[in-house]
Amino acid sequence: MTQVQETLVLVKPDGVARNLSGEILRRIEAKGYSLVDIKLVQAERSLLAEHYAEHAGKPFFEPLVEFMESGQILALRVAGDRVIEGFRALAGTTDPTTAAPGTIRGDLGRDWGLKVQQNLVHGSDSPESAARELALWFA
């Protein structure tokens, strides 16, 4: 049974500023996933608040939105069979200090002692999230 999916990947402002966009794209392409659309965005606060609505009210919400507003983001529409879970596996777990070596966050990220973790990438976490987030970023 086919499970071709699309997911939203964001190279966050730390990834773009550290010139790691190419390295991150390389890993997505090397895994075998396809780029469907790609754009550099300076995101509005309203888009970011909507994107991260599930985290509204948490202590890291405001620092998270400020971080995501702090520079350009590379937004990607990525396709492939089971790409939603596959990209989450490539990205690694949320905390870059303990994310497994071999993952984007584990290899390229670290803790910078800030109120929000800067962990290089976002990936949709379910088919419902992917549909919602792709509509927001690639309207």
Residues known to be catalytic? 122
Whether the CB-CB separation of 97 and 113 falls below 8 Å is answered with no
Rounded to whole angstroms, how far apart are CA atoms 97 and 112?
10
For residue 103, state whether it binds ligand DAT (rule: CB under 6 A).
Answer: no
Is the Cβ of residue 36 or residue 89 nearer to ligand DAT in the bound state? 89
Six-digit token string for 53 = 């609505």
For residue 60, state whether it binds ligand DAT (rule: CB under 6 A).
Answer: yes
For residue 117, state whether it binds ligand DAT (rule: CB under 6 A).
Answer: yes
Whether the CB-CB separation of 24 and 87 falls below 8 Å is answered with no
> Known binder of ligand: residue 12?
yes
Positions touching ligand DAT (CB under 6 A) are 55, 60, 64, 94, 116-117, 119, 122, 125
